[in-house]
Amino acid sequence: MSHLRFHVRFPEDKVKEPIIYQIGREYNIVTNVRRADVRETTGWVDVELSGEIAEIERALDGLRKKGCVVDPIELNVVE
Amino acid sequence: MTKMKALVCRECAKEYPTKAIHVCEMCFGPLEVKYNYEEIKKAISRKKIQEGPHSMWRYLDLLPVEGTNFVGPHAGLTPLVRAKNLGAYLGLNELYIKNDTVNHPTLSFKDRVVAVALTRARELGFETVACASTGNLANSVSAHAAAANLHCYVFIPGDLEAAKVLGNLIYKPHVVEVEGNYDDVNRLCSEIAGEHGWGFVNINIRPYYAEGSKTLAYETVEQLGWKTPDQVVIPMASGSLLTKIWKGLHEMKYVGLIDEVHTKLNGAQAEGCSPISTAFKAGRDFFKPVKPKTIAKSLAIGNPADGYYALKATAESRGAMEMVTDEEVVDGIKLLAQTEGIFAETAGGVTIGVLKKLVKQGVIKKNEVTVAYITGNGLKTQEAVIDAVGRPTRIQPSLVAFEKTFKLGKNGGGDA
């Protein structure tokens, strides 16, 4: 079981969709939101995904396919 | 005296011990060092600083390390150059250049943050240090690790230019070229930092690493005769440098070294990667990440970790932000070189370009004491200006040819 933390951003047209709920249903992972900011035109959540690493990877692909941008919790670390 | 009180979450203020951690377990916010300023105030003085080492370590009382076994003992205390020629060109009476192009040992301001990071990493018991970088940071970590006998891993994207790779290889770290793009390297490094017991300078050591930038503020104030500047212009990549200069200025007030801080912060970015400046100019308190496309590679961070805090600090200071085109970056590099004899890398071109813009807009005024931070050496990014500096004048090897070409002496028709 791994626990990985991500910063997930939603495009404007997806702000109203329950995306975090959906990936929790579609993949065998546990989602744990710790901080979020959702506004009319933009939104992000800081979330921990727990599960087998391969399943987390699949869930990340799933998030990307829904139009989300997924970064590590640290954002950009390449300086 | 315990000068470090704790690591504290910048979002929820939850405190943690001063170990190698960087994210709040409660809210996932970033951690930073919290100091015991009352105790530091009793120990620090202008006299003690002035009698200290000729390096940034003269501000040891305000840096997050416990001992004096420094990695990078010569970093910092770079010249604050009174830029009379550039000032006259721009119409500023009191302009200074904080010249980190001559920082030791790798000619960029990263030598400050890496010296602090590796000193702290060694104190915390790490024998292996690492970083993810496309340039200055990798150079500095590799050099400092070599000198400190630390194992070193440097992660770079697979498509990095040969010259930049060489600048790391010479110090013989493990240079890991990751097949994939910037985002792939970024994610891999975050995962490696979580899995291995290494001191990853810009991940789990970041709360200490970032504090090294404060020394630019301390030095500026000391070199100005213990006065704060009216205006500063700071290049922004992650935004950390700007926020830490702000923190450093205020700390000097907390510990009684200065009476007031009235400085206005001005952030500088290149148009091809300006998420923070764009947000500021639009009046937003959040930024939209971008895919970088600029020659100013050392500032090309599209999703900056401290972007939100840079916006906040600049607004608090009643400062401004601007951005410049790549053409203006090159012009800025040339202008600084040709007026002050300082050859800056592309980030310096961004700073000078934005300084010029802010003066023109009337944001920075003629009689304000202004400091521009030049953070890296031009020898590192020569490709950016190679087509913009002309060619040597070629002549035959004779006095006649020389004098004719330059219209000098009897063969050139001149007097000399």
Sorted by where each starts, the structural domains of chain B and their CATH numbers stand as 80-105+212-384 (3.40.50.1100), 125-204 (3.40.50.1100)
* Chain A residues in contact with B301 (beta carbon < 8 A): 76, 78-79
Residue A77 lies in a domain: no
ipTM for this prediction: 0.92
CB half-sphere exposure, B34, CA atoms < 13 A:
13
Distance in angstroms (rounded) separating the CA atoms of residues B15 and B6? 6
Residue A19 lies in a domain: yes
* Chain B residues in contact with A8 (beta carbon < 8 A): none
Contact A76 B136 (CB under 8 A): no
Mean pLDDT of B101-111: 97
- Look at residues B20, B357, B368, B346 and name the one whose alpha carbon lies nearest to residue B201: B20
Would you say the C-alpha torsion A43, A46, A50, A56 has a positive or negative sign? positive
pLDDT of residue B208: 98
pLDDT of residue B224: 98
Give the nearest partner residue to A73 out of B23, B26, B155, using CB atoms: B23
pLDDT of residue B70: 98
SS3 at position A78: coil
Residue A78 lies in a domain: no
Mean pLDDT of B319-330: 98
* Chain A residues in contact with B136 (beta carbon < 8 A): 79
Q: How many A/B residue pairs have CB atoms within 8 Å?
A: 78
Residue A25 lies in a domain: yes
To the nearest whole Å, the CA of B198 is away from the closest chain A CA by 15
Interface check for A48 against chain B (CB to CB < 8 A): the answer is yes
pLDDT tens-place string over residues A10-42: 888 888 899 999 999 999 999 999 999 998 888
pLDDT of residue A39: 87
pLDDT tens-place string over residues B159-194: 777 767 888 899 999 999 988 777 788 888 888 887
pLDDT of residue B366: 98
- Look at residues B191, B187, B205 and name the one whose alpha carbon lies nearest to residue B124: B205
Distance in angstroms (rounded) separating the CA atoms of residues B364 and A72? 38
CATH number at residue A50: 3.30.70.260
SS3 at position A7: strand
Contact A75 B29 (CB under 8 A): no
Give the nearest partner residue to B182 out of A35, A75, A78, using CB atoms: A78
- With a cut of 60, say whether residue A65 has pLDDT above it: yes
* Chain A residues in contact with B183 (beta carbon < 8 A): 71
What does DSSP assign to residue B23? B
Mean pLDDT of B317-331: 98
pLDDT of residue B134: 80
Residue A79 lies in a domain: no
Contact B28 A69 (CB under 8 A): no
Distance in angstroms (rounded) separating the CA atoms of residues A62 and B291? 21
Nearest CA in chain A to B134: A79
Q: Which residue has better confidence, B4 or B413?
A: B4
Would you say the C-alpha torsion B403, B407, B412, B416 has a positive or negative sign? negative
Instruction: Give the range among A40-44, B216-220, B225-229, B298-302 with minimum mean pLDDT.
Output: A40-44
Predicted TM-score (pTM) of this structure: 0.95
- Compute how many other C-beta atoms are within 10 angstroms of the C-beta atom of residue B196: 12
Range of the domain at A41: 2-72
B415 pLDDT band, cuts 50/70/90, is: low
Contact A76 B29 (CB under 8 A): no
The total number of structural domains that make up chain A: 1
Q: What's the token pair of residue B358?
A: 């802010």
- Residue B130 dihedral angles phi and psi, to the nearest 5°: -155, 165
Contact B132 A71 (CB under 8 A): no
